[in-house]
Amino acid sequence: MFTLEGKLIQILEDSKIGNSTLRSILVETFEEKPKQIKMDLWNEKASLVSNKDINKTISVGFEIESKPYNGRYFTNIKAYSINVIGSSTTVTDTKAAAEDFDMILPDDDIDDLPF
């Protein structure tokens, strides 16, 4: 498990995949050359951030996982806790570390990824 501190710059539109809900966020690092990192929040974890947190400094607990699909590997960054820096509240899903973070993939064999 890893932790990243950065600025929440965008909350992307929620997606429904089967019975699951996906919310993706963009976090910008505080490095000399800042990087934007897309992280995914699944199901109940989607409520860990809201539009009121945009442009605030956050600390994100996350896991990185790569899985094969159609002979290729795809890497996913899954956030499981978010702390708004300077806020007295920490939002954490304590069950996240024990959950199996299986990537949910469509049943049909489409290859429409942008890379």
Average pLDDT score over the chain: 83
Report how far residue 58's alpha carbon sits from residue 67's, in angstroms, rounded to the nearest whole number. Answer: 27
pLDDT of the residue at 87: 65
pLDDT in tens, 33-88: 999 999 999 999 999 999 999 999 999 999 999 999 999 999 999 999 999 997 65
Q: What are phi and psi of 88, to 5 degrees?
A: -85, 0
The predicted model scores a pTM of 0.73
pLDDT of the residue at 111: 56
For the chain, which domains are there? Answer: 2-94 (2.40.50.140)
Report how far residue 32's alpha carbon sits from residue 26's, in angstroms, rounded to the nearest whole number. Answer: 18
Do 49 and 36 form a contact (C-beta atoms < 8 A)? no
* pLDDT grade for 100, boundaries at 50, 70 and 90: very low
**Residue 22 pLDDT more than 60?**
yes
Q: What are phi and psi of 33, to 5 degrees?
A: -110, 95
Do 23 and 69 form a contact (C-beta atoms < 8 A)? no
